Amino acid sequence: MGIMNLITTGLRWVLDTLFQFTNSYGFSIILATILVRLLLYPLTLSQTKSMIAMKRIQPEMDAIKAKYQDDKDKLNQKMMELYQEHKINPLGGCLPLLIQLPILWAFFRVLRDTDFGEAVNFLNFWVLNEPDKFYILPLLAAATTYLQSRMTITDNQQSTMMIAMPLMIGFFSISLPSGLVLYWITSNVFSIVQQWYINKMYPVQ
């Protein structure tokens, strides 16, 4: 059994188990998402500490970029030296996202291949394995992605991503199963609350 089949089978079992308590696959998706994010918390905490450290050295980063803007090789060298001096891994934030990608794909496969019967309806409003015909979930996906991006982007030069990413997520969410978009929204809300808590515990000095 391949790793994706293993993740998909495990996720289906988790949703079925949670359904026994919630009697709703929509709420099961929400609870499963929270469970996944709690399991990823140690990685996320490490990622967030790295981002806070990068915010602290932002003035030094801006000074280096201004000084060596015409010499890309020297710029990259000085930036790496700065990261090493402060023990920062600039790619540390990628790991939680990379881990979530197979989980996102597993949710898609479960929603595509599983017959949920009448329980496929969530709050008598959304059909979990069909796109949201009211566009409410895509709008929420875009809005929560924007809020989450505002709390995590450290480089001012990445501000365009804060607009482009939510628009892209909202656009793709229009054609994705509502259950998958529900997972994304729940994950974003969890990230926003988690980021607020971590920022409070580890303020930028």
What are the C-alpha distances in Å from 35 to residues 18, 29, 136? 11, 10, 24
Q: What pLDDT was estimated at residue 67?
A: 84
What are the C-alpha distances in Å from 65 to residues 41, 143, 205? 33, 31, 22
Phi, psi for residue 118 in degrees, rounded to 5: -70, -20
What are the C-alpha distances in Å from 176 to residues 25, 36, 99, 133? 17, 20, 20, 11
User: For residue 204, is pLDDT > 60?
Assistant: no
How much is the pTM? Answer: 0.80
What are the C-alpha distances in Å from 18 to residues 21, 24, 30? 5, 8, 10
Domain boundaries of the chain, sorted by first residue: 3-54+92-201
Q: Which of the given ranges, 26-30, 71-75, 80-84, 86-90, has the highest pLDDT on average? A: 26-30
Q: How far is residue 187's CA from residue 174's CA, in Å, rounded to a whole number? A: 18
Encode pLDDT of 110-129 as tens digits.
888 877 888 889 988 899 98
Query: Encoding tokens for residue 126?
Result: 């959304």
For the chain, the farthest-separated pair of C-alpha atoms sits apart, in whole angstroms, at: 63
Closest CA to 24 of 15, 14, 37, 33: 15
